[in-house]
Structure 1
Amino acid sequence: MIEKNTLAGILLKLERLRQDKGQKEVCSGICVPSYLSKIEHGTVCADEKILAELFACLGIFYEKDQAALEKLGKLIEKYFYCQQYYLDTRDVYEKLQERERTLMYSRYAVDWLLICAFEQAAPRDIMDRLDALKEHMEPRQLAYYKLLCAQEEKNAERAVHLSREACDVLNNSYAMLMLCVAYFRQGNYSEIHRMEQRVVAAAVEEGNTYQLADFCFMNGNAYACLNMEEMMMVYFERGIRLLQNTAWKRELAGVYYNIGATYISLRKYDPALEYLEMAEQEDTGHQFQIPIFHKKAIVFLRTGRKDEGKKILAEMKNLLLKKTATSAVDWLIYEEAEMEAEEGFLNNPEYLKLLEKLIRAIKEELHFGYLYFYREVIVEACKRQRRYRQALEFEQEISSGIVK
């Protein structure tokens, strides 16, 4: 465990550098520069009084009251408990925010930065500050930092590596689910299936209903990406039953959406539409509004109801235009559906060019399941336009993903 005064010295150095002040300027009348250098490099544990005076030179109040710090420590413990059990963290976070200036330069600085990163979707400035402190983190803190890095990591292999290291330290169902998310991004569904016994045992031991249900949904999604309807429904229905009478019922919108999308791939359009409408009803926060519109439009287009499909696509476009931040893949998915509304789209060379751009974007931003969703139209368009080698290479890529 890192001594609190050692960590305080590192924090002191970072703040001094941020304010562009020299060591002599800060330590004048308090200690000699060489002693300040030792404090900043963590080779000595300074007295609390000296630390308070040094921080005061930087305009910062350094809390020495142990009782006050212990209260903050209990709030931090409560935050991570709520996170592990998927309980609302807002109230705890707001109480901690009130003491932000104290937390930033205390023994809890790393924990506070981790909490800020989780709450604010890992902003770059916070992640940079955490990176500067990673050599001074406790194993638990470093594990959470690695989970945050894994979420931001674009390379799927690297994300799995970071998640696995974090999981080995935390060894709880929360970390195990994060590792499953990394496997999912990698398209490594067999590893998700293999983790079932481990995750379920941990969640049951913890009494963690949400993580137990979440693993059912993760496993269901893995089977859904391979269009394995029977196994998909086994796990989805199990998860639905776990959450249907809980405060987490809102999570079911995403489950119904995934079931609907899978039924589209299976060409079972009636149940696809049924589940997409169920998703729309449950999606009170409109989190899935754009993807639901997209999938409903696809259902209508592929069942010959083009006017209805075009109407929904127009609504989807309006939503995309209103969004403050849309990715390239969002627009490519829309453009692909729009081209499906045209007669003879599979024979159109421009459609194949669009698909090639879509494939590249999916590989960069999404996961294997999206490629599988477009499998039939990609292969059929290649065949229609006599791009047989391209069709074969894509089929081999899909097959290798299924085997993995």
Structure 2
Amino acid sequence: MENNEKAWGKLLKYYRQKKKQKQDDVAFGICTPSYLSRIENGIVIAEHSMYEQLFENLGIDFNKLKQQLKSQTTFLEQLYEKLLSNAEFTVGEIEQLTAMQTEEQPFEQQLMAKLVYARFLYSKKEDDVARTILNEIEPFVSWKKDRVTQLFVAITTFGHLSFQEFEQLSNKEEDSQFAQFLSNAHPFELANYHYHIAFANHRSYKLQKALEHIELAQQFFIHQYKPLFQLKLFSMKGVIFNDSHRFQKALKEFEAGLNLLESVPSIQTPMQWSSLHNNIAYCYECQENFPEASKHYKTANNYDEDLHSAINWMRTCFAQKDFKQLEILLKRYEEHQFSVPHHIYQRRLLQYAVESAHTIRGLKLLEDEAFPHFNEQQYYSLILFYAPLWAQFYEQLHAYKQASYCFRQALYASEKIRQRMSS
């Protein structure tokens, strides 16, 4: 709710209409009906005593009402801060927030409760329901720097990420500068917002924009103790540096993340350890330091057995010709265990690559299946790894035309990566 006297006028109007009272009746003995109308519409801010009298005519204890609404607002703000910090709700908090969706409240209070509830639904992966709520709220957003607008901007931004609408979110901020609505919000909210925009730009391969927003997130996050979010900032900045081929800067960020993780037991989960070691491993892989990459992929997999780390580890084993370990991994992770298309295609390519009897037909079938998908999804680093390998296999079979085509695909991927680095 607005934390000023203008909100009191809106409350008067809300409760007067709810009780089906005319302005003449409420204003009687206090002010003129026209003056009450101006108060209700925020044109005039009256003396505190006048608000007390007007609410009294409605049978409402004004001071008690203010305290009740303040308590509800504080509760919603605490829940929202928990959501930003990835903290779990208690059963009682969930029940109270759910109950607020059906209770009669002043309109702005209703909107705020629905917005926090939508963000809670996103945290529970109930994305479609959350988006429906936000679509219902959008017509009532004032697009000023009020609390409802701030929450709507931040929560719809998070929603775009949930739906993997990275390009849409990146363009939305670039075109409309929605960050302006959050300029007077809490610094932690601003840090979260810029982190999300950085994430969207990174996934849209706009690396320079991503770096700008992650640095803004760091600026707003200074002097706050939220180690899990700090870890996210280290990891994201490291990933952006790595994709820009600024490997030493990337490793510096990842090392800072490791130091933080080692120092704060409360954030030490298998997933956090695994994710960070996977990022470090990929950084070494990009530098063709395959033994170091393989070591960190193994560590990541030991912390939290993850199919993404597993396929990366397989690829690195092949690159350093550790075919013994690759065979172990291929047996441990059979194709039916994978569901992500580029994981499935990579496993098929690697399985075929270690076989001794290649045929032009066999190579072509896998090429036609995997490479178009890599290109469509803009996985140019995968094209750059597998296309030259397939070209070598074609050359061994004297299929030079097919080999030439694979080399051209690798060249195209290399140029796309170069463009990303300068974007």
Q: What is the percentage of aligned positions where both structures have the same residue?
A: 9
Aligned to 2:294: 273
Judged with a 3 Å threshold, the aligned counterparts in structure 2 of structure 1 residues 301 and 196 are, in CA distance, closer, same or farther, namely closer
CA distance in 1, matches of 2:117, 2:404: 55
Q: Higher Cα Rg: structure 1 or 2?
A: 2
- Contact 2:83-2:119 within 8 A present in 1 as well: no
Matched residue type, 2:316: V
Residue 396 (structure 1) aligned with residue 405 (structure 2): no
Aligned to 1:119: 123
Superposed CA deviations along residues 179-207 of structure 1, whole A, max 9, x for unmatched, are: 11011101122223334543322111444
Residue 132 (structure 1) aligned with residue 144 (structure 2): no
CA distance in 2, matches of 1:94, 1:371: 48
Aligned to 2:35: none
Q: Could you say what secondary structure the match of 1:121 adopts?
A: coil
Judged with a 3 Å threshold, the aligned counterparts in structure 2 of structure 1 residues 176 and 254 are, in CA distance, closer, same or farther, namely same
Q: Which segments of 5 or more consecutive residues in structure 1 lack a partner in the other structure?
A: 8-26, 32-43, 49-63, 364-369
Q: Which segments of 5 or more consecutive residues in structure 2 lack a partner in the other structure?
A: 12-17, 22-39, 42-54, 56-63, 142-147, 184-189, 395-402
How far apart are 1:344 and its partner, in Å?
7.2
- Say what the alpha-carbon RMSD is for the aligned residues: 3.7
- Contact 1:160-1:183 within 8 A present in 2 as well: yes
Judged with a 3 Å threshold, the aligned counterparts in structure 2 of structure 1 residues 359 and 373 are, in CA distance, closer, same or farther, namely closer
The TM-score normalised by the length of structure 1 is 0.71
Judged with a 3 Å threshold, the aligned counterparts in structure 2 of structure 1 residues 97 and 338 are, in CA distance, closer, same or farther, namely farther
Judged with a 3 Å threshold, the aligned counterparts in structure 2 of structure 1 residues 89 and 69 are, in CA distance, closer, same or farther, namely farther
Aligned to 2:93: 95
Aligned to 2:320: 303
How far apart are 1:220 and its partner, in Å?
0.9
Q: How does 1:246-395 map to 2 (within 5 A)?
A: 246=264, 247-250=266-269, 251-283=272-304, 286=305, 289-317=306-334, 320=337, 326-343=339-356, 348-360=363-375, 362-363=377-378, 370-381=379-390, 384=394, 385-387=403-405, 388-395=407-414
Superposed CA deviations along residues 233-275 of structure 1, whole A, max 9, x for unmatched, are: 1111122223321122332321111111232333322111221
Aligned to 1:170: 182
Point out which structure has higher relative CO (alpha carbons under 8 A, 6+ apart): 1
CA distance in 2, matches of 1:329, 1:104: 45
Judged with a 3 Å threshold, the aligned counterparts in structure 2 of structure 1 residues 225 and 379 are, in CA distance, closer, same or farther, namely farther
Q: Could you say what secondary structure the match of 1:342 adopts?
A: coil
Q: Could you say what secondary structure the match of 2:333 adopts?
A: helix
Aligned to 2:76: 76
The TM-score normalised by the length of structure 2 is 0.68
- Contact 1:293-1:313 within 8 A present in 2 as well: no
Judged with a 3 Å threshold, the aligned counterparts in structure 2 of structure 1 residues 158 and 203 are, in CA distance, closer, same or farther, namely same
Judged with a 3 Å threshold, the aligned counterparts in structure 2 of structure 1 residues 380 and 97 are, in CA distance, closer, same or farther, namely same
Judged with a 3 Å threshold, the aligned counterparts in structure 2 of structure 1 residues 163 and 6 are, in CA distance, closer, same or farther, namely farther
Matched residue type, 1:225: D
Matched residue type, 1:336: L
- Contact 1:177-1:211 within 8 A present in 2 as well: no
Judged with a 3 Å threshold, the aligned counterparts in structure 2 of structure 1 residues 344 and 191 are, in CA distance, closer, same or farther, namely farther
How far apart are 1:100 and its partner, in Å?
1.2
- 2:222 corresponds, among 204, 207, 212, to 204
CA distance in 1, matches of 2:333, 2:382: 19
CA distance in 1, matches of 2:317, 2:102: 54
Matched residue type, 1:100: T
How far apart are 1:98 and its partner, in Å?
4.6
Judged with a 3 Å threshold, the aligned counterparts in structure 2 of structure 1 residues 260 and 133 are, in CA distance, closer, same or farther, namely same
